[in-house]
Each structure stands twice: as C-alpha cells, then as structure tokens.
Amino acid sequence: MAQMMILSWSGTRLQHVISDENSSFFHQQCDKALAVFRSHGVVHSDGEGRNMLWDDLGGRLVVIDLEDVRWLKRPRTLEPISGNTRRGHRVGMGKNRQSLTVQVDCCVHMKVHGTMDHRVG
C-alpha cells in the first residue's frame, strides 16, 4: 500500500517577518491568538514566536506546534440540543399479552472533539 503525506503552506515564521516597526502589531496578534485558545480551555505550552506563522495572503496569524497543549478542566456550559425529543415506543409483551406503551426520553448527546480553527484573523 502506498502512503503519502500532504502538507500545505501555512505562512512564514514570525521571526522572519517581525521588525521594529511592526512588532507591536504582531505581539498583539500573538496575545489575541493565545486568548482564543484560552477561551476554548486550551493552554499552548510553548506560545513563543517560533510557533507562530504569518499568512500574508490571508492576513492572519497561524499557531503551530500543538502537540504539547494542555486542556483545562472546566465545566461545559449547557446548551439546548435540537435532537432532544420525547417519543413513544411500543414494547411487546408476548402473544397473548397487552402491549405496553412506554414514554422514553431519547436524548442525543453530542461530544465535541476539540476541533477548532486555530487561526486568528
């Protein structure tokens, strides 16, 4: 079986783009990106400039090197889930017995797997 890895270009390392004239802008963008991570309960363990890329075409910062992120344990906010409904189900009780209708709460629980857009624009 042939295997291949496809990589896309994400930007130029921030250390090659930053200068005295634009350093405050890029520091602000880095702080904003790390704040977005924290708002999702994620702490980037190495949020230095070497792990930031600048996408000049998109005009956005891209955060890389995510293998050592820490997930903060915090309670999730409760949100209405559109799949929650009450449905009646018939449960058979045998040939000569009367059927029993049971109301069952059918709840669909969706688990969010931490997919997030780590780009700040």
Does domain 12-112 fall under CATH 1.10.3470? My reply is: no
| Helix locations, 40-89, DSSP H | none
Question: Model confidence over 14-63: pLDDT tens digits?
Answer: 989 999 999 999 999 999 999 998 898 888 888 787 889 999 999 999 99
User: What is the pLDDT at residue 22?
Assistant: 94
| Residue 114 pLDDT grade (very low, low, confident, very high; cuts 50, 70, 90) | very low
Question: Model confidence over 56-103: pLDDT tens digits?
Answer: 999 999 998 888 888 887 656 666 666 655 555 444 444 444 333 232
Q: For the chain, give every domain's residue range.
A: 12-112
Residue 114 Rama label (left phi>0; alpha psi -120 to 50; beta): left
